[in-house]
Amino acid sequence: MTLRVRWGTVAIAAVPLTALVLFFVYPVVGMLARGLWPDGSLDLGAVTEVLGRPRTHRVLWFTVWSAGVATLVSVLAGLPVAFVLHRLRFPGRDLLRALVVVPFVLPTVVVGVAFRQLIAPSGPLGSLGLDGTATAIVAALVFFNISVVVRTVGAFWEAIDTRREEAAAVLGASPWQVFRTVTLPALVPGIVSAASVVFLFCATSFGVVLTMGGLRYSNVETEIYLLTTQELDLTGAAALSILQLVVITALLVLAARVRRSPGPVDRTTKRLPRPRLRQLPVLLWAGLVIVFLMAPLASLLSASLRQGDTWGLDNYRALGTTGAHNALLVPATTGLANSLQIAMVATVIALVLGSCVAFLVSRPGGGRPMGVLDGVFMLPLGVSAVTVGFGFLITLDKPPLDLRESALLIPIAQAMVALPLVVRTLAPVLRSVDDRQRQAAASLGAGPLRVLLTVDVPVAWRALIAAAGFAFAVSLGEFGATSFLARDDNPTLPVVIYRLIGHPGAENFGMAMAASVVLAATTAVVMFAVQRLRVASVGAF
């Protein structure tokens, strides 16, 4: 019996592990090998030389500084929003919950463009003189990551038994004392978990820093990109990639240590309270943060509706063309169709692999091996998408694995990016199933498959659909890896947007804005549908 279960476990683990090795480890190692064995022999002197460069130090410092500040601001800005969206009841709350997640799944390119649109000298906030500053980069990183804090801490906040806070209040604690002595200690694991993930995202952020940093600011990720594509210094790129990998592995281990899933939410407790007047400061704070989140989107929308001095839908009509001066090889609408199709395939792949991983890591008594498995599948979150994308290019273009012509190349790359998010959505829900229910079912004569179908699936199907929607939205917006792999005659929508911005002309810019709005709206609709499923673990870490 035990032996059979073990074999089953190995079989289920084999599928995602094989995929991870082939489509993540192999490309990344290939990419690193190219840099470390430039002439067929290991050259570690070059690595230490790269790490000793003053420019490398500057890049490292900026990476740590920008990620640290952005993490701190994200947490401070996200906490009140988490409270308002997860502990109060008011009309439109579900819509707001979905809108808050939209920045996270937006293509980084769109985020960069939306921010530039807002703070460019000609934009609504041009007078602040933020264009091209480090402050603007941090603001964009915060914009991108607030939802991680809101979702993660919000899930913890929802799980707190309100009677514990009431117990404190009845014992004489003022609302602030209740927060400090009861609520905050219960939120700390969620805050630490969210902060470590946000730091990870900020430190490996690519699209935002690339579009907003210009030549003045560069983090490790964009530096790898510049070294690889502009200076062809593969040794330098490999050295930085290794450094990044080491730091990120350490961070993931740390995050796994502190990660604790919020307790089960008691769905039978009474309805959440409505906002009260004395909560006005928190409400205002949350309102300001939401305005901050919506402003770039609104600015994007208004730019997409303007052509010169007139308003209209011309930019949207232009999406059926290849742009001014034929900036594109195919109409933008083809890019949208491609994106949808690719995202669909990527979702299926991520869902199959993610379900296997989530199933395994959520079995009780898995112990250390399962903890490691859990952590290994988080790696794609933190490894440079540039390294992955470029690694795909140089390793998957020749036997034994030649996928250059395969329609699956981009979906596979995107699936690897979405995989950790699928696992993070599914595993907590599966873990919440009391193992005694499985034992009860087994004792009544249910085989392993029937236990799965009658105990796990009824609990997990919502999470499964939610994870699918989330993976779909993330795939739609994926840019880092896709930008290396998409060909100009078959681009995805984010790639189309990047191309359009790179070409001169107001028409192309207008088209880029319209395409960004279409992309943002599509992801928003998907996320709203996901939101309706009420799975707390979506977008939480």
Partner 1 sequence: MSGLDVRDLTVRFGATAAVDHVDLAVPAGSVVAVLGPSGCGKSTLLRAVAGLEVPASGTVSYDGQDLAGTPTHRRGFALMFQDGQLFEHLDVAANIAYPLRLRRRSRADQRARARELLALVGLEGYADRLPATLSGGERQRVALARALAVEPRLLLLDEPLSALDRGLRERLAGELHDILRAAGATAMLVTHDHDEAFAVADRMAVMREGRIVQAGTLEEVWSRPVDGWTAAFLGYATVLTGDRAARLRELVAPGEPWESVALRRSALRVDPTGPLTARVEEARVTPDQIRLQLDVDGAGSLPGVADPGSDVRVGARVRVSIDTSRIALIPSDLSGVEP
Name the minimum Å distance from CB 273 to partner 1.
10
Judged by CB, which is closer to partner 1: 118, or 182? Answer: 182
Name the minimum Å distance from CB 474 to partner 1.
35
Name the minimum Å distance from CB 167 to partner 1.
4
Residue 51 to residues 48, 175, 202, 218, 358, Cα–Cα distance (Å): 5, 51, 21, 15, 38
Number of residues that bind partner 1 (CB under 8 A): 20
The first and second tokens of residue 49, run together, are 């030389």
Which class for 443: exposed (0-12), middle (13-18), buried (19 or more C-beta within 10 A)? exposed
Name the minimum Å distance from CB 92 to partner 1.
20
Position of tokens 């795909």?
392
C-beta separation of 395 from 487 below 8 A: no
Judged by CB, which is closer to partner 1: 181, or 439? Answer: 181
Judged by CB, which is closer to partner 1: 160, or 536? Answer: 160
Judged by CB, which is closer to partner 1: 124, or 275? Answer: 275
Judged by CB, which is closer to partner 1: 171, or 232? Answer: 171
Judged by CB, which is closer to partner 1: 181, or 406? Answer: 181
C-beta separation of 109 from 497 below 8 A: yes
d(CA 409, CA 482): 9
C-beta separation of 36 from 47 below 8 A: yes
Judged by CB, which is closer to partner 1: 173, or 459? Answer: 173
Name the minimum Å distance from CB 182 to partner 1.
6
Three-state secondary-structure class, residue 358: helix
Query: Cα 203 to chain center, whole Å?
Result: 13
d(CA 393, CA 397): 6
Write each residue from 168 to 197 as x if it is in contact with partner 1 (CB under 8 A), else as -, in one continuous string.
xxxxxxxx-xx--xx--xx-----------
Note whether 258 binds partner 1 by CB under 8 A. Answer: no
Name the minimum Å distance from CB 366 to partner 1.
23
Note whether 5 binds partner 1 by CB under 8 A. Answer: no
Of the residues 21, 95, 167, 444, which one makes contact with partner 1 according to CB under 8 A:
167
d(CA 81, CA 65): 25
Of the residues 21, 89, 161, 260, which one makes contact with partner 1 according to CB under 8 A:
161
Note whether 160 binds partner 1 by CB under 8 A. Answer: no
What residues does 307 pair with on adjacent strands?
310
d(CA 234, CA 211): 22
Name the minimum Å distance from CB 284 to partner 1.
21
- Using CB under 8 A, which residues numbered 454 to 513 contact partner 1? none
Name the minimum Å distance from CB 177 to partner 1.
6
Name the minimum Å distance from CB 371 to partner 1.
22
Judged by CB, which is closer to partner 1: 5, or 167? Answer: 167
Judged by CB, which is closer to partner 1: 53, or 163? Answer: 163
Note whether 277 binds partner 1 by CB under 8 A. Answer: no
Residue 221 to residues 157, 205, 386, 436, 531, Cα–Cα distance (Å): 34, 7, 7, 46, 32
Judged by CB, which is closer to partner 1: 266, or 402? Answer: 266
Dihedral of the alpha carbons of 463, 467, 468, 472, in degrees to the nearest 10 = 150
- Which span sits near partner 1 by CB under 8 A: 157-165, 282-290, 372-380, 479-487? 157-165
C-beta separation of 415 from 366 below 8 A: no
Name the minimum Å distance from CB 269 to partner 1.
12
Q: What is the DSSP string of 201-242?
A: HHHT--HHHHHHHTTT---HHHHHHHHHHTS--HHHHHHHHH
Question: Where on the chain is the footprint of partner 1 (CB under 8 A)?
Answer: 161, 163-164, 166-175, 177-178, 181-182, 185-186, 270
